[in-house]
Structure 1
Amino acid sequence: MTKLFIGGLSENIQEMDLAIFVSLHGQIETIKVVRDRSTGKCKGYAFLEVNKLADANNIISNLNGETFKGNVVTVKICEEQPVAPKKFQPKGNPAIKSKRPRLQR
């Protein structure tokens, strides 16, 4: 699965419009238009997933720099950052002593 980044989208873009625009050049598995939580408007970019690398390259070569709904779009392969595993830290550190002793009841 290859993930693509599409930037330069208008704020009123709909997923179906983007799907029609892109699907002419390759088969799309998923579309995620990134939206502002409070307004619901597009933040100007989206992510697509395609199964084949050949489809991804075809989409990039045909759509990068093209105009879509009045905006020039940027299409590129999304470079995902590896997720670092969280380090386990037990609750309370016995090496650190509290500043005041607790009262015994």
Structure 2
Amino acid sequence: MKLFVGGFPLDIAEIELVKIFNSFGTVNTIKIVRDKKTRKCKGYAFLEMTDQAGADRAIEGLDGTPMGDRLLSVKPAADKPAPKPPMQQRSFRPQQSGSYSNTRPEKDFAAKKRPRI
């Protein structure tokens, strides 16, 4: 089961988090989320545990636990949102209202001749 873990100190190492969570069950994977440019920790991670029971024990035992000057938040990870469907191809044809008329427009939109200079 995949867990969201937040609120831990920004300088914590992955191995330290794994040790904490291994006391509740086996950790398969961990990914501490970092800023793309600076590579600094953003203060949250995603962790996958081998079984549901271990994940439930970790949530029960660690959610709300103080860590340094922060409170640890451990929750089931939300599923990734479904990818957006591709944009429809844009049409450059004018929209039609669906009705037609035999009357002439009030103004003639034909190109006007430019005055000679």
**TM-score bucket (shorter structure):** 0.7 to 0.9
Q: Give CA-to-partner distance per residue, 1:14-45, whole Å, 9 cap, x none.
A: 11111111111111110000111222221111
Aligned length: 94
Q: How does 1:30-69 map to 2 (within 5 A)?
A: 30-69=29-68
Cα distance, 1:36–1:82 mapped onto 2, change above 3 Å: closer
| Aligned partner letter, 2:60 | S
Contact in 1 for aligned 2:4/2:77 (Cα 8 Å): yes
The alignment partner of 2:27 has SS state of coil
The alignment partner of 1:13 has SS state of coil
Contact in 1 for aligned 2:3/2:55 (Cα 8 Å): yes
Contact in 2 for aligned 1:9/1:42 (Cα 8 Å): no
Contact in 1 for aligned 2:63/2:72 (Cα 8 Å): yes
Task: Give the % identical residues.
Answer: 37
Cα distance, 1:83–1:40 mapped onto 2, change above 3 Å: same
Normalised TM-score (structure 1): 0.75
1:96 corresponds to 2:88: no
- Partner residue, 1:22: 21
Normalised TM-score (structure 2): 0.69
Q: In angstroms, what is the RMSD of aligned CA positions?
A: 2.2
Larger gyration radius, structure 1 or structure 2: 2
User: 1:71 Cα shift?
Assistant: 2.4
Q: Give CA-to-partner distance per residue, 1:45-77, whole Å, 9 cap, x none.
A: 111011211111011011111123442101010
Q: Which runs of 5+ in 2 are unaligned?
A: 94-117
- Partner residue, 1:87: 86
Q: Distance in 2 between matches of 1:81 and 1:48?
A: 14
- Partner residue, 1:100: none
